[in-house]
């Protein structure tokens, strides 16, 4: 059970922390590099086996990799499959089988509300406008985000032909420049930037509420069913180490096997949602922490490079005889950090308003052209 709980956490740690400078020489970094090197080869081998032709398999695999580098609905399909499948499993395997009629009505209403809230926020983020920079709004973003001359310096954007605003980045997936670029999320098939980060955080919170509720509901349903069937008074043939007849109350291993065998659907769904709850809690907490510091996911990598360069410069000057005084603290200070409340306000109320809060997926293809 412990291995089952730690495996997803380890995978997330490899994917999220592995590519960072801090962990690149650790086991996480080595695992991330090994995964990055092996995944394409394994995928190509599997496709080759499926089509029974090496050249054709390599061509198909290459086409698939190219498709994954562009906006595609694969992540959205996976999300909908998990959400709808999980909801159906809960209704059929928990509500209808383990809860009585009167109690089930309340759980059904709560389940429907949590499910609708999660799906609504997901759909909202899928169609949200991240803050696409165009020739028309370029000046507004230049005023909103000044160059700090540490991480961001003045440079020309090839698409707009004007200075690229600080904190913006060209999204290689959707091929557009996004203000306060954070990352591209495959689950919503959209870029997360200045204008939709708040909705992305709400989306994460909604998913956290849903899986947390389902976890508690599954545990409640199993316990309620066992109590109604008087399972706790059952006595089994074997004895405990103390010499007493085994019951579900005094033999934890027996209780585990009994619950897994008789309540497999509820246990499977509950354990899965519990693991997802842990992962989402960590991810939401990390994103909230970044928002409170006014740092984007993209900027975390930039700041790691800055700090590494500063440490290198410190070492070089320590071995030299330069008399010039350098404020090292100033070189590693985030000038966009205006205090926790100011930072949160910037996330909730972006400095530049867009004509529309929504942008359909194909709008991104239009936005890449001036």
Flag whether 329 is in a domain: no
Contact 319, 167 (CB under 8 A): no
pLDDT digits (tens, 9 = 90+) for 269-307: 898 899 889 889 988 999 999 999 999 999 988 888 887
Is residue 320 very low, low, confident or very high in pLDDT (cuts 50, 70, 90)?
A: low
Cα–chain-centroid distance for residue 88?
24
Q: Which pLDDT score is estimated for 191? A: 94
- Residue 205 within a domain: yes
Q: Minimum mean pLDDT among 9-13, 31-35, 142-146, 319-323: which range?
A: 319-323
Q: Is residue 114 part of a domain?
A: yes
Average pLDDT over residues 197-215: 95
Helix and strand numbers (H, E) in the chain are: 14, 6
pLDDT number for residue 369:
43
Of 71-80, 117-126, 128-137, 247-256, which one has max mean pLDDT?
A: 117-126
Question: Cα separation of 143 and 136, whole Å?
Answer: 13
Report whether 164 contacts 98 (CB < 8 A).
no
- Which of the pair, 370 or 255, is modelled with greater confidence? 255
State the pLDDT at residue 50.
74
**Model confidence at 310: pLDDT above 70:** yes
- If asked whether residues 94 and 49 sit together in one domain, one would say no
Is the separation of the CB atoms in 291 and 201 below 8 Å? Answer: yes
Q: Rounded mean pLDDT of 318-334?
A: 68
Does residue 164 share a domain with residue 16? no
Return the bridge partners of 247, or none.
235
Cβ(240)–Cβ(250) under 8 Å?
yes
Among 53, 69, 85, the domain boundary falls at 69
**Statement to judge: residues 65 and 149 lie in one domain:** no
Does one domain contain both 7 and 142?
A: no
Mean pLDDT of the chain: 80
97 and 51 in one domain?
Answer: no
How high is the pLDDT of residue 263? 85
- The per-residue pLDDT for 346 is 94
For residues 323-340, average pLDDT: 78
- DSSP letter assigned to residue 320: S
**What percentage of the chain reaches a pLDDT higher than 70?**
71
pLDDT number for residue 190: 93
Average pLDDT score over residue span 314-333? 67
Same domain, 229 and 245: yes
- With respect to residue 277, please indicate whether it lies within any of the assigned structural domains: yes
347 and 220 in a common domain: yes
Q: Are residues 61 and 47 in the same domain?
A: yes
CB 204 within 8 A of CB 276: no
Final residue belonging to a domain, choices 31, 54, 69: 69
Average pLDDT over residues 194-216: 95
pLDDT at 147: 92
Six-digit token string for 142: 């230049």
Total tally of structural domains belonging to the chain: 2
Q: Which of 171-175, 199-203, 229-233, 315-319 has the highest mean pLDDT?
A: 199-203
- Same-domain status, 145 and 33: no
Q: Are residues 89 and 223 in the same domain?
A: yes
User: Is 318 a member of any domain?
Assistant: no
Q: What distance in Å separates the CA atoms of residue 19 and residue 145, rounded to the nearest whole number?
A: 27
Specify the pTM: 0.82
| Higher per-residue pLDDT: 162 or 200 | 200
Do the domain assignments include residue 366? yes
Q: Which domain holds residue 152?
A: 73-295+334-370
d(CA 239, CA 268): 29
User: What does 145-190 look like in DSSP terms, one character per residue?
Assistant: S---SSS----B-TTTSSBPPTT-EEETTTTEEETT--EEETTTTE
Residues 268 and 123 both lie in one domain: yes
Decide if pLDDT at 324 tops 70: no
Assign 368 a pLDDT band (cuts: 50, 70, 90): very low
Q: What pLDDT score does 246 carry?
A: 66
Q: What is the pLDDT of residues 44-98, one digit of tens each?
A: 677 677 777 777 777 766 766 666 667 788 889 989 999 999 888 888 878 777 7
In a domain, 322, yes or no: no
Tell me: pLDDT of 259 over 90: no
pLDDT at site 132: 92
Which of 27, 46, 69 is the last residue in one of the domains? 69
> Radius of gyration of the chain from Cα atoms?
26
- For the chain, the residue count is 370
Residue 155 sits in the same domain as residue 275: yes
Residue 98 has phi, psi (to 5 degrees) of: -110, -15
Q: Cα–Cα distance between 163 and 142 in angstroms, integer? A: 8
Q: What is the pLDDT of residue 370?
A: 42
Q: Residue 186 pLDDT > 80, yes or no?
A: yes
């Amino acid at each position: 059970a412990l291995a089952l709980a730690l495996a997803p956490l380890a995978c997330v740690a490899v994917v999220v922390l592995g590519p960072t400078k801090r962990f690149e020489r650790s086991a996480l970094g080595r695992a991330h590099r090994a995964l990055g090197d092996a995944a394409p080869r394994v995928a190509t081998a599997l496709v080759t086996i499926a089509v029974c032709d090496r050249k054709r398999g390599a061509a198909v695999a290459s086409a698939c990799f190219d498709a994954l580098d562009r906006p595609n609905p694969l992540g959205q399909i996976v999300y909908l499959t998990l959400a709808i499948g999980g909801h159906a499993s809960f209704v059929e395997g928990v509500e209808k089988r383990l809860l009585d009629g009167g109690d089930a009505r309340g759980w059904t209403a709560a389940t429907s509300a949590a499910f609708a809230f999660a799906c609504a926020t997901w759909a909202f983020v899928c169609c949200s406008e991240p803050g696409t920079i165009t020739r028309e709004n370029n000046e507004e973003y230049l005023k909103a985000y000044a160059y700090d001359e540490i991480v961001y310096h003045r440079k020309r954007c090839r698409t707009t032909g004007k200075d690229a605003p600080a904190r913006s980045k060209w999204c290689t997936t959707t091929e557009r420049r996004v203000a306060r670029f954070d990352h591209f999320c495959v689950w919503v098939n959209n870029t997360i930037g200045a204008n939709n980060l708040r909705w992305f955080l709400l989306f994460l919170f909604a998913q956290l509420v849903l899986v947390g509720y389902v976890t508690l509901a599954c545990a409640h349903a199993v316990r309620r069913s066992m109590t109604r069937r008087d399972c706790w008074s059952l006595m089994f043939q074997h004895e405990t180490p103390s010499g007493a007849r085994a019951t579900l109350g005094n033999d934890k291993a027996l209780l585990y096997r009994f619950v897994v065998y008789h309540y497999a659907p509820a246990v499977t769904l509950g354990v899965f949602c519990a693991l997802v709850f842990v992962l989402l809690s960590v991810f939401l907490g990390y994103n909230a922490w970044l928002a409170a510091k006014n740092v984007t996911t993209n900027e975390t990598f930039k700041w790691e490079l800055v700090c590494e360069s500063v440490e290198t410069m410190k070492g070089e000057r320590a071995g030299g005889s330069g008399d010039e005084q350098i404020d090292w603290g100033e070189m590693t200070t985030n000038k966009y950090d205006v205090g926790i409340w100011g930072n949160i306000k910037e996330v909730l109320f972006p400095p530049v308003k867009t004509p529309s809060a929504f942008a359909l997926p194909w709008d991104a293809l239009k936005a890449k052209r001036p």
